[in-house]
Amino acid sequence: MRLQCNCFSAGCGDRGGVELEKRTYDAHARKDKIAITEKARDRADRAIQDELDAIAVHLASTTLLADNLAPASSAAGGRLWSRQASAGTRAEKGEQESASRQEVIRNLLARLDEIDSQVDTLSDKVCHELAIFNKSHNVDLTFPLRHLKAEFLQIEVDLNKITLKAPSVTSLKFSVQEKMDKISEKLHVAKSDWAENLATARSFAPAEESGVKVSTGIYFFS
């Protein structure tokens, strides 16, 4: 069986799609998946580091400001010690909040990686079944790719549960959403084609007969 490959890792997409044997098609798909995953992970790592740097700068500036506002001299145990202790407490609290936030971000990124893998698997399924769907001369009375649409909707629900606006999270989520949008478009086009083919086939089937085989090889039962 030959499938149309639109990968970017081997340049098939740049050539308008290339028909390949299933084994080669799968190999190209794996290379695309690895490249996309590594790119998303690199973006996430850079975003996390940027956040850590920004937090470190903020904490440093807060402590420096507190030191500058303190009196030049004070009695032991007086206001200078009190302000320095207060600044230290704020810095420690900020570090604790930062660590907690980073843990949340890491967990969300791990979850997004899982969802990203699910999306890649679904994309492979859609491409495979679309190839079969497009070559079929029969028209089912129900949309043959509806089970893939159900998988898509479940993944979409899981993805929409992630709402944190941290740059690293939004960056990876956007990357996953782009893949979802492409799958959605493919399923939408396939369903439109199926509905059109079904309407055409029905127009050739006499309504008064309980079972009619039309020229396309389709049976309809009233």
pLDDT in tens, 17-38: 888 888 888 888 888 888 777 7
Q: What is the pLDDT of residue 220?
A: 42
Q: Which two tokens stand for residue 40?
A: 């998303």
Residue 218 belongs to a domain: no
Residue 198 belongs to a domain: yes
Predicted confidence band at 179 (pLDDT cuts at 50, 70, 90)?
very high
The mean pLDDT value for 3-15 works out to 82
Q: CB neighbours (10 Å) of residue 24?
A: 16
| Res. 222: pLDDT tops 50 | no
Residue 118 belongs to a domain: yes
| Res. 104: pLDDT tops 50 | yes
Full domain range(s) for residue 47: 2-206
| Res. 59: pLDDT tops 70 | no
Distance CA 124, CA 94 (A): 45
Q: Which two tokens stand for residue 116?
A: 């990203």
133 close to 127: Cβ distance less than 8 angstroms:
no
The mean pLDDT value for 173-199 works out to 90
Residue 220 belongs to a domain: no
**49 vs 58, higher pLDDT:** 49
186 close to 126: Cβ distance less than 8 angstroms:
yes
How many separate domains does the chain show? 1
Residue 217 belongs to a domain: no
Please state, rounded to an integer, the average pLDDT across all residues of the chain.
Answer: 75
Beta strands in the chain (DSSP E): 2-5, 18-21, 211-213, 219-221
Q: Identify which of 40, 37, 3 has the alpha carbon closest to the alpha carbon of residue 19.
A: 3
Residue 188 belongs to a domain: yes
Residue 197 belongs to a domain: yes
Q: What is the pLDDT of residue 63?
A: 52
Residue 221 belongs to a domain: no
